[in-house]
Amino acid sequence: MRQARIYMDWNATAPLLPAAREACVSALDRLGNPSSVHGEGRQIRGMIEDSRRDVAALCGAVPAGVTFTSGATEAANWVLTPDFRMGRTPLRIGRVYISAIEHPAVREGGRFSKEAISEIAVTADGIIDLDVLERALANHDRSSGPPMVAVMMANNETGIIQPIAEVARLVKRAGGVLVVDAVQAAGRMALSIAELGADFLILSSHKIGGPKGAGALIASGEILMPSPLVRGGGQEKGHRSGTENPVAIAGFAAAARAARQGMRDRMEAVSGLRDALEVAILAAAPDVIIHGRGGPRLCNTIFFTLPGLKAETGQIAFDLEGVALSAGSACSSGKVGQSYVLSAMGRDPGQGALRISIGSSTTLAEIEQCGAAFAKIAARRRLSGDAA
């Protein structure tokens, strides 16, 4: 009897939560434009403001610091700009420093010119090299304006967690601005923008079980803000024009509320499942390389290379076994290429790597099914004696 397919690609997108689906459907029935002053408009405006509070609570922010966007990519392109305002005073950012393992939405540098983007190396463990960052900030040309540093809290491929508080200390000492991509961390670990010392956080709805097409830029306050990327009618306090998407925002907020409930117990359970799968993987193929194992990682992520098995071949093999996983980031139009994250860590990216990412609804039976699929694929690799 053919087994049911199992989904193990939560870092690409999490399954839509029932509560988020219900919130979306309910919002569809609400009449009115949130910018209208009549009763219908005020009602839907109230729903958006309630949603803003829910998203703010997920990362310890103030509601006024939350600006809704169409997703994390838009938020990144908005905040990565040399043009800011400090209150009513223009502020020019001189240069942006980006770690070598950032998501492509951040690596492109937003609205900075290529000449104003500097890449900061990471260690063999996938951690931003704090000494390199410190030297770069010490040598920053302050006459060009303060520096900006953009570092992800947790890597989307390896799950490796970055020392954001230490990064923040260096950035503040240099009088700079810190942008943290918290897309993969949200809902999987406690977040507090104040405790992290970040000026801005980037969030995505569909990574936490909300609908696609919603995200947010979270500011630590209301004084320092980037110049608008989307101009027009002045919605979102003039920061992001265009009529808000109440359906996606309501679903995003419902997912944010769910993410806060019992997070510690939920993630401990997920961590236990992840560890059990790693034991099975290592038993089936002792030569497997699990990148980042033993270091600070997200509790749900396994990024591994099986020597002799190319990533694209492995992805197809798992898919034929009924297991949906990915070969690194799922943000490149389905392309499977070499991992720049592995390259940055000094690893050979030639074979690539596969990523298993699980979540709160993953079951032990699914873990066992995935482990059995891995064992079959590893056995075929041994029998074939080649990369096919």
Of 24, 59, 299, 331, the catalytic one is 331
Q: What H or E segment, with its residue span, contains residue 23?
A: helix 18-28
Phi-psi label, residue 23: left if phi above 0, alpha if psi -120 to 50, beta otherwise = alpha
| 123, amino acid identity | T
Known catalytic membership, residue 299: no
Phi first, then psi: what are they for 227, rounded to 5°?
-65, 150
Q: What is the dihedral of CA 203, 204, 207, 212, to 10 degrees?
A: 170
Question: CA 244, CA 68: separation in Å to the nearest integer?
Answer: 8
- Return the beta strands (E) in the chain as ranges: 6-7, 66-69, 83-86, 89-92, 95-99, 117-120, 147-152, 177-181, 200-204, 215-219, 224-226, 289-290, 301-305, 323-324, 354-357
CB 343 within 8 A of CB 119: no
End-to-end Cα separation, the chain, in angstroms: 27
Beta bridge partners of 92: 83
Query: Residue 355 has which token pair?
Result: 């990523």
Q: Is 338 helix (H, G, I), strand (E, B) or coil?
A: coil
Q: Is 168 helix (H, G, I), strand (E, B) or coil?
A: helix
Query: Residue 89 has which token pair?
Result: 């005073």
Show which residues are catalytic.
Answer: 331
